[in-house]
Amino acid sequence: MIQMSETIVPKIKPQKINAPVSGMTCASCVARVERSISKIEGIKNVSVNLATEKATFEIDNSLASLEQVEKAIENAGYKIDFSSLNKTSSSHTINDELKSDFNNKLRKDFFLAIFLTIPIFILSMGMMWEGFHNLIPISQNGVNKVLLLLTIPVVFISGKRFYKIFWKNLLHLTADMNSLVAIGTGSAFIYSTLLTLFPELFSDNTMVPHVYFETTAVIITLILMGRWLESSAKSKTGLAIKKLIELKPQTVIVKRKSIEEEIPIGELLIDDIVIIKPGGKIPADGKVVSGYSTIDESMLTGESIPVEKNIGSKVIGGSINKTGSFNYQVTAVGDNSILGHIIKMVEEAQGSKAPIQKLADKIAAVFVPIIILIAIITFVGWFFFSTTGFSAALINFIAVLIIACPCALGLATPTAIIVGTGKGAQNGILIKNAESLELAHRIDTIIFDKTGTITTGKPKVGSIITNSIDEQELLNLVGSLEERSEHPIAKAIVSYAKESGNKFENVENFESLTGIGLKGRVKSDEILAGNQTLMENNSIDRKIFHENINEFSKSSKTLVFVSINKELKGLIAIEDEIKNNSKEVVAKLKTMNLKTILLSGDNKHSVKDIADKVGFDDYRAEVMPGNKLSVISQYQKEGKIVAMVGDGINDAPALAQSNVGIAMGTGTDVAIESGDIVLMSGDLNGVVNAIMLSRQTLKTIKQNLFWAFIYNIIGIPLAAFGLLNPMIAALAMSFSSVSVVSNSLRLKKKILVK
């Protein structure tokens, strides 16, 4: 009998796409692009960012294709560029090229518009002056025809973008900011054109009604000016990413087959030997194989002091060599390097959405249709219920359309997020997403792991007490035994013994007794080295060191008991130094009204001693790594917003459970993946700065949203009641977006703790 084996189809992991989208101008555009992509089966986690002009989503290639996405977005009236996915250039570089083309076209359209609008405005204002017709002997209808000729290029060349998008929107029964501008200026232009070419339709032949060519031209010109200024300001929000990308040199000198050659950085391969000269940029990650130098890693880690590098030291791509020269072997290039990870993560963070943005998105989704409805009601009200008739109705209709500004709403949150995450990256604070940046300002409880976070994590011998044996002889015996172990405490003892000039003996019958110590025979003597449990298990009398044991047990030192031939001969006190700025950082956090807690698996006396020295509000001792998670859960059940600060590797479950996980990184891939926020240099001041940055960013977002909302709340009623000229409305609307972006840029000047 033949058995048929069942074919198991492996589950395909969704591909994450981050690509530039062109044509978006306001929050309504963002909502429409998101809806267009989300409707496609096999696509999830869609996020579109107006400030970065990018779409991020996950696609199951077995259910959907990028061609479907491209077609859906084009049908919505926009364009997405997937070319960066198949190129070595980053999506940011290609997006910059698209933005540059867009800005150049915008600038040309603006200058053409202003060149024609100035004479249009002068002629229109001159018609209201009695002496004007004496200077220029042309009839009013003749002047109107000149105005028409001057306005046509403004509308159909400079303003073409508004009407083109409006028409696409109309075909899909949707509307955005472009629709408001197109309807407003188009209404004024069509009415004025008909009045100029067919005056008999509107006049009783005793007077020529007023035309609104200047209104059309000035509004288009001012909005183009606003968008140009806004675009220029937005480009400054992404300077952090640009600076990170520029850290890579364009060319690199490598040694291949004993021959030095200069190659483009794109041709650099893993295991290549790179030659670095004084002042040169490190092109990729690697390990030093010859030479010595100091390297400035400040742009990556925020650490201002240059780091010494010698043979075996790791170097990070993007860092800058100082005075020495060295050769190193490449271990990672491109997106797989530390710098590549950082750039990708910052781009993703800047493209993500903060929860506070949901309110603005909900309003933006219905904003434009409501404004059009208000404008129609305004027109009907003024036309039928006022004595001023059609002209006033048209002007106020246009004013309502133009004053409305979903652009400011759409830019309020993402611009602040971009500047905030960029500033963080430049200071060695890697913030993974906008949600973490927003949530960090609400933290009220902050829990620190002890070893490697508050302390250096590098045990060292503090003191040695002996009984009837020379200290050097004791070190020789115990060092010989400890040399066989990989435990950090064993390494500390071995290092101390070597520094004292000891050369170790052979060890026989070596045993590593998990959790309690070591056992072995050195020069025919039976040596035991470990904790009190090891002594108890072997019935070793400890009375001779009773007072010393009591004294040390009240401190943060760890005791290693050494017995020779069943007799206790020595105590070695191991201490883990407290980091220089631990006390200062905890004090700063307490002034920020945060409860500080120390968490460790060490004994109660040791943890209490460090907690008291550093100044923690509370501590938890003898907590195993697996139980750290439950400690955090307990505080969360009490309604606390908890941040966990750990070394990024051993504390991964606790970091994941906390509301905001802050990993003390050293530039390693594991550390980068562990927390919501990664402190690249491992400097504790980064904890203070991350929370300060979150508070400053949220303050900026709230200011932006306030002005965006208040602007519309005040401006729309003024326009509806005829108290706002459409040209003034256009100027105000243009600068509302510029003001929001400019306010976000102020974050770059905020001072962080060093």
Residues 6+ away with beta carbon under 8 Å from 401: 180, 181, 183, 184, 371, 372, 375
**What string of DSSP letters covers 433-502?**
-HHHHHHGGG--EEEEEIIIIIB-S--EEEEEEESSS-HHHHHHHHHHHHTT---HHHHHHHHHHHHTT-
CA atoms of 129 and 388, how far apart (whole Å): 22
Residues marked active site are found at 449
Alpha helices in 331-433 (DSSP H): 338-351, 357-385, 389-403, 406-426
Q: What are phi and psi of 588, to 5 degrees?
A: -65, -40
Q: Give the residue among 678, 695, 677 at the shortest CA–CA distance from 416.
A: 695
Q: Concatenate the DSSP letters of all residues of 565-580 into one string.
A: TTEEEEEEEEE-PBPT
Cα–chain center distance at 221: 35
CA distance 358 to 738: 22
CA nearest 124: which of 159, 151, 156, 162? 151
Q: Which of 342, 334, 339 is nearest to 320 (CA)?
A: 339
CB burial readout 155-193, b (16+ within 10 A) else e = beebbebbbebbebbeeeebbbbbbbbbbbbbbbbebbb
Nearest Cα to Cα of residue 476 among 562, 558, 548, 560: 562
- Residue 134: count of CB within 10 angstroms of its CB: 8
**Element containing residue 430 per DSSP (H, E):** strand 429-431
Phi, psi dihedral angles at 596 (to 5 degrees): -110, 135
**Which residues, including other chains, have CB under 8 Å from residue 200's CB and lie 6 or more apart?**
none
Q: Does residue 502 contact residue 476 with C-beta atoms inside 8 Å?
A: yes
Block residue for tokens 């408001």: 180
> With contact defined as beta carbons under 8 Å apart, do 180 and 170 qualify?
no
* Lookup: tokens for 12: 């395909």
The 8 Å CB, 24+ separation contacts for 120-125 are: 120/147, 120/150, 120/151, 120/154, 120/213, 120/214, 120/217, 120/218, 121/214, 121/217, 121/218, 123/147, 123/150, 123/214, 124/211, 124/213, 124/214, 125/214
Core vs surface per residue 26-52: b (16+ CB within 10 A) or e: bbbbbbbbbebbeebeebeebbbbbbb
Question: Other CB atoms closer than 10 Å to residue 591's CB: what's the count?
Answer: 8
- Sign, CA torsion 625/628/629/630: positive
Angle CA 473–476–481, to nearest 5: 135
Cβ atoms of 415 and 738 within 8 Å: the answer is no
Rounded Cα distance between 189 and 470, Å, is 102
Residue 277 in contact with residue 321, Cβ under 8 Å? Answer: yes
Whole-angstrom Cα Rg for the chain:
35
- Residue-wise over 717-751: b if at least 16 C-beta within 10 A, else e? ebbbebebbbbbbbbbbbbbbbbbbebbbebeebe
